[in-house]
């Protein structure tokens, strides 16, 4: 837990909150007689805290951004993929308390479980240190990537709009290769229109690689 606290950049006064945040329902069900509960309530709280922090940040930093664009930007920052990336950075999978079946079935790497644990961890920070402590976590791991997410959305949206000028055509993205160790992974993605490759991109995340593939496709087309 000390290693996880170092990655978070936050030291818990009550470490049981962090343990609770990392407790999956499968583990709680196996230890019901011990009174252990899952992180689902913390996940609920964390989702609301995250949404508020991101919404306030976008509202203050983009005074001229229309409501629809604010909504889309917030969605890109708080989606499962974004939370999964945070979990990978924190290596949350190592610390999850999972039931035997869930652990054997690959639960430590399942994006949905990791994303939920990220929200629960944020709630644990909030309950332990207050709103500003939670804001610091969101700023460090999510808001600092706002520009990457915005660029990603712009290129992919532009490509989609361009392709849809021709009825019946669609864009798909495919992972071509993963390079490097877990802590320094590089992803290569291809963008294809009707199964014909039109662009390739390389990035530190799949989303970034998709963005660069869309950019390359626009330039090509």
For 199, the token pair is 């662009």
For 24, the token pair is 């999956």
**Is 117:21 a contact under the CB 8 Å cutoff?**
yes
- Comparing C-alpha atoms, which of 79, 56, 98 is closest to residue 153? 79
Q: Which of 43, 47, 85, 190 is catalytic?
A: 47
User: Is 81 one of the annotated active-site residues of the chain?
Assistant: no
Q: Which of 43, 119, 190, 208 is catalytic?
A: 119
User: Is 47 one of the annotated active-site residues of the chain?
Assistant: yes
Cβ-based neighbours of 150, under 8 Å, separated by 6 or more: 73, 76
The span from the first CA to the last CA of the chain, in angstroms, equals: 50
Alpha helices in 91-167 (DSSP H): 100-104, 111-129, 131-141, 146-163
Burial class (CB in 10 A: 0-12, 13-18, 19+), 142: buried
Catalytic residues, by residue number, are 47, 119
């Amino acid at each position: 837990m000390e290693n996880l606290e170092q990655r978070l950049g936050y030291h818990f006064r009550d470490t049981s909150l962090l343990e609770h945040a990392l407790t999956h329902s499968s583990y709680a069900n196996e230890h019901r007689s011990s009174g252990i509960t899952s992180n689902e309530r913390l996940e609920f709280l964390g989702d609301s805290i995250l949404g508020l922090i991101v919404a306030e940040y976008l509202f203050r930093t983009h005074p001229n951004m229309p409501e629809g664009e604010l909504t889309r930007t917030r969605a890109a920052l708080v989606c499962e993929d974004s939370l999964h990336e945070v979990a990978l950075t924190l290596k949350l999978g190592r610390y999850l308390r999972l039931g035997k079946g869930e652990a054997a079935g690959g639960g430590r790497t399942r994006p949905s479980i990791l994303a939920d644990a990220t929200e629960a961890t944020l709630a644990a920070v909030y309950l332990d240190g207050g709103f500003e402590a939670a804001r610091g976590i969101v700023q460090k791991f999510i808001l600092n990537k706002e520009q990457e997410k915005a660029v990603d959305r712009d290129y992919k949206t532009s490509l989609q709009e361009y392709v849809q000028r021709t009825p019946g055509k669609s864009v798909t993205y495919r992972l071509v290769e993963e390079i490097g160790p877990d802590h320094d992974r590089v992803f290569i993605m291809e963008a294809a229109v009707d199964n014909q490759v039109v662009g390739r991109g390389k990035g530190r995340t799949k989303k970034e690689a998709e963005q660069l593939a869309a950019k390359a496709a626009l330039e090509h087309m």
